[in-house]
Amino acid sequence: MHRIDGLPDHVTIYEVGPRDGLQNEAAILPVDVKAEFVERLVDAGLTTIETTSFVHPTWVPQLADASDLLTRLERRPGIRYPVLVPNERGLDRALEHGVTEIAIFGSATETFAQRNLNRTVDSQFEMFAPVVSRALESGVRVRAYVSMCFGDPWEGPVPIARVVEVGMRLLDLGCFELSLGDTIGVGTPGHARALIESFPCGPGPLAVHFHDTYGQALANTLEALRCGVTVVDAAAGGIGGCPYAESATGNLATEDLVWMLHGLGIETGVDLGSLVDTSSWLARRLGRPSPSSVVRALSKEP
Ligand code: HMG
Ligand code: MG
């Protein structure tokens, strides 16, 4: 194990496999398999698991069983189970299940705001504002995502100033954390640094969410850590993508992230062998091999 100066001692892994991972799979898994997936992630040492989405069920049929999943899931003390919520209808559904943490998701670009939320960039805030205020009144913490932080498949490169403006408006609603989404995985480390350094709030409330379309997710994450970010989104096995973003592929694989962090002497609390077993198990259920390099290297299966 070899340390590099200037990196944090601890990184919080925000696991998005059950939500971002499963929302983009052709196969819709049975709800008991999803519940087992979440349980296995907890057993592997993950403590923050974005579990599902309370979006419109016809927009994302893969997660239409959100209520059923939360009813079945045994939520363990000390583990965070945030869910994605776009609007008040979604919040009502989440509150019925005693959810204590939600995530709203905004877009930095007009085209993606329209395609993903059926809103303009401006009108997405009218949708989110009452969600955040009602959630906070109910004692529910709210994270925000901003998508298309680096490039957009329809609009091309996205100006940093626009991402910062949308991101700060989301934080100013009362969100405790802002996750910077490279939805289509086009970002590179210098761009990641420039973006993070442009936020007037500093790195404290920022998290990073890299998709790995161009193989840059781990390099971008390392640069984000060097900038002071300590919360990193990743999906077990590298599954994931967005059904409303052309060319969005898998997330940074949690196993690839854990391998790097442990190699750097940064503790995560994750048992890598157990996580690899989980991703191999899930790959069998999804009917396709895991795209994660570390899963392929460590899997005991042929
Ligand atoms: P809309 O059609 O504008 O909805 O969709 P509406 O507000 O006009 O309502 C129409 C009907 O839908 C109403 O029913 C509502 O009750 C119902 P009616 O009165 O006609 O019978 N409805 C709902 N039902 C259940 N749950 C709800 C809900 N909302 C409305 N929550 C909406 C607007 C936001 C709902 C829609 O666009 C939507 O669901 N979008 C979600 C898309 C999505 O989930 N995308 C993937 C997640 S984002 C992502 O992956 C990126 C991320 O990973 C970060 C990154 O990588 O960058 C986070
Ligand atoms: Mg994503």
Output the pLDDT for position 249: 80
List, in order, residues 6 or more apart from 105 with CB less than 8 Å away. Answer: 84, 86, 116, 117, 144, 145, 147, 181
Half-sphere exposure of 200 (CA within 13 A, CB side): 9
112 lines ligand 1 (CB under 6 A): no
Instruction: Indicate which residue's Cα is closest to atom 3 of ligand 1.
Output: 118
Q: What is the mean pLDDT of the chain?
A: 96
Q: Is residue 86 scored above 90 in pLDDT? A: yes
**CA 206/CA 170 separation, integer angstroms:** 12
Is the minimum distance from the CB of 23 to ligand 1 under 6 angstroms? Answer: yes
Q: What's residue 245's pLDDT?
A: 82
Q: Which ligand is nearest to the CA of 146?
A: 1
For residue 300, name the pLDDT band (cuts at 50, 70, 90): confident
- Cut 0.95: pTM above it: yes
Per-residue pLDDT at 1 exceeds 80: no
Q: Report which bound ligand comes closest to the CA of 53.
A: 1
pLDDT given for residue 243 in this prediction: 81
Ligand 1 atom at minimal distance to the Cα of residue 242? 50
- Decide whether any atom of ligand 1 lies within 6 Å of the 117 Cβ: yes
18-36, pLDDT tens digit by residue? 999 999 988 899 999 999 9
Q: Which of 33, 32, 35 is closest to 49 using CA atoms?
A: 35
For 102-134, write each residue's pLDDT tens digit: 999 999 999 999 999 999 999 999 999 999 999
User: What are the extents of the domains in the chain?
Assistant: 12-298
CA of 157 to the centre of ligand 1 (A): 26
Q: Which residues are catalytic?
A: 242
The protein residue with its alpha carbon nearest to ligand 1, atom 24, reads: 56
End-to-end CA distance of the chain: 29
Question: What residue owns the CA closest to ligand 1's atom 37?
Answer: 117
Closest ligand 1 atom number to CA of residue 85: 31
Q: Ligand 1: which of 56, 127, 242 to mutate, judged by most atoms within 8 Å of the beta carbon?
A: 56
Class of domain 12-298: alpha beta
302 confidence band (pLDDT: 50, 70, 90): low
CA–chain centroid gap for 102, Å, is 12
> Which residue lies with its CA nearest to atom 43 of ligand 1?
116
Q: Is residue 21 within 8 Å of 235, Cβ to Cβ?
A: yes
20 in contact with ligand 1, CB cutoff 6 A: yes
In short, whether 87's Cβ falls inside 6 Å of ligand 1 is yes
Q: What percent of the chain has pLDDT over 70?
A: 99
Best residue among 51, 55, 99 to mutate for probing ligand 1's pocket (most ligand atoms within 8 Å of CB) is 55
Question: How far is the C-alpha of 99 from the C-alpha of 80, rounded, in Å?
Answer: 9
pLDDT digits (tens, 9 = 90+) for 36-70: 999 999 999 999 999 999 999 999 999 999 999 99
Q: For residue 146, which atom of ligand 1 is closest to its CA?
A: 57
Give residue-wise pLDDT tens across range 148-203.
Answer: 999 999 999 999 999 999 999 999 999 999 999 999 999 999 999 999 999 999 99
Closest CA to 18 of 301, 290, 282: 282
User: Which of 15, 3, 6, 53 lies closest to 207, judged by CA?
Assistant: 15
> Measured in angstroms, how far is the CA atom of residue 107 from the centroid of ligand 2?
12
Residue 241 confidence (pLDDT) above 90: no
